[in-house]
Chain A
Amino acid sequence: MADTAIEIEDLHVVRGGRSVIDGLDLHVAAGSVTGLLGPSGCGKSTLMRAIVGVQIIQSGQVMVLGESGGSPQLRWRVGYVTQAPSVYGDLSISENLRYFAAVVGVGQERVGEVIHTVGLAGREQQIVGSLSGGERSRVSLASALLNDPELLVLDEPTVGLDPVLRAELWRTFHELASAGSTLLISSHVMDEASECDALLLMRDGALLEQTTPEQLRQQTGEQDLGRAFLAVIEQASS
């Protein structure tokens, strides 16, 4: 199954005594940009945590790049960006990236490159704590790009960004995918769905639909993907 990046079977996750993911199956094709969409609180972040192996799961099988999710080898191959930017607020942009570059074992020349990729060139010496929320999440994203991971798991990477930057980041995501990476990107904004090759629609801890933007439009007869999603929810609950 070399063409499958992520394969999940019957995943169950309980957090805080509540069942957050209840018997979920999915598969993500290698080299694709897959959008994980659904309202906030539907379990997107928990699913992503399970994929990168930082989530305790009750049962089920998570296979990532041919290995069991969370296995030590995967730490070299999977990049993960949490929803809240996880970088050091008291360090400068370049200090943050120099540290993470050392951890993942790539040369310091990558630091300048990823700073450029996320559009923060010229700001290297600025302290992360003094950046805006959107800028901080770009530093967090840049940290995950350092070692060109085969799989990038990005939890709402475009939240709070202006439309121009958002378009630039989506272009970057597609470039990474055409260079061979697989990207799983969550969002609760449906207008980003049209940017994806494949869509995973989630609601209440379950996968409603595994589809593509084109299929979703045809199936529901809606051009607007937000409305299409609503139509899917109505179908599912009727």
Chain B
Amino acid sequence: MSARVTLATARRVLWQIRRDPRTIALLLVVPVGLLVLMRFVFDGQPQTFQAIGAPMCGLFPFIIMFLVTSIAMLRERTSGTLERLMSLPITKVDLLVGYGVAFGLLAPLQAVVVCLVGFLALGLHAPHGAWLVGLLAVGNAVLGMALGLFASAFARTEFQAVQFMPAIIFPQLLLCGLFVDRHEMASALYGVSWVLPLTYAYDALARATRSGALGGRVAIDICVILGATLVALALGALTLRRRTA
């Protein structure tokens, strides 16, 4: 692995995104727009908005980074640039970590914007500090990115890649406890929810956005998020083949 190549890759990915101001606008505006929408959907139920909207501030980056990176990596595969890179002295780790650094730099931007709007303008509370929600949002964004890089290996076209959002992300959103307490689900689903990374991402956010002691669980949640990110990156590296049929 080479720091020079990794950073060059990160810089190149950021150059590509900079050339696409509409994507930047979508990255920043869409989460805020959805949060504002939720605020008024739950106009008569401020507690529900707090219970769902506050954790959502930290989950939007996960969802959006998943989508953006899975398409970005798919383009790398279909444009032939991946094949060129695989014939050059760049390791798979350089490439994946390069993507990680680039999106890891964008994620705080997105997290700051959505947290500012949520906690300052829309009246959400973060008893343990909005900074903690922001930090978790960045971690979740990097997790979403790692899963997106891995998922892109299973898509041949962009049509397929966008389908991975409902296929991989929606079930995790339903099972993570955001909408229904996990204990109230069918026991099989409750069991499944334990192996889904978003469950831990949500758990940390839920604890960070309600009063009461944080407890050691948040530390465990953060470890699981980091671990799942590394596992997804490792799986992603396995899907990058130097030789293809």
Contacts and interface: CB of A to CB of B under 8 A. Distances in A.
B12 A88 contact: yes
B245 A127 contact: no
Which size bracket describes the interface of B in this complex? 20 to 34
Interface string A208-220: 0000000000000
A104 B16 contact: no
Interface stretch (A36-44, A75-83, A159-167): A75-83
Contact of A127 (B19, B81, B243): B19
A89 interface: yes
A84 interface: yes
Given A102-B4, A103-B8, A91 B19 contact: yes
Contacts of A85: 80
Nearest to B86: A54
Which size bracket describes the interface of A in this complex? 20 to 34
Contacts of A104: 88-89
A95 B8 CA distance: 11
Contacts of A105: 4, 89
A53 B20 contact: no
Contacts of A103: 5, 8-9, 85, 88-90
Contacts of A82: 80, 83-84
B243 A56 contact: yes
Interface string B1-20: 00011001101100110011
Interface in A110-159: 127, 140, 143
Nearest to A86: B80
B187 interface: no
B244 interface: yes
B8 A70 contact: no
A34 B109 CA distance: 52
A89 B78 CA distance: 12
Interface of A: 15-16, 52-56, 70, 72, 75-76, 78, 80, 82, 84-91, 95, 99-100, 102-105, 127, 140, 143
Given A88-B16, A99-B9, 11 more contacts: A16-B245, A54-B83, A54-B87, A56-B243, A72-B89, A75-B88, A91-B15, A91-B19, A95-B15, A103-B88, A140-B84
12 contacts: A54-B83, A54-B86, A75-B87, A82-B80, A84-B80, A89-B79, A91-B15, A99-B8, A99-B11, A103-B8, A105-B89, A143-B84
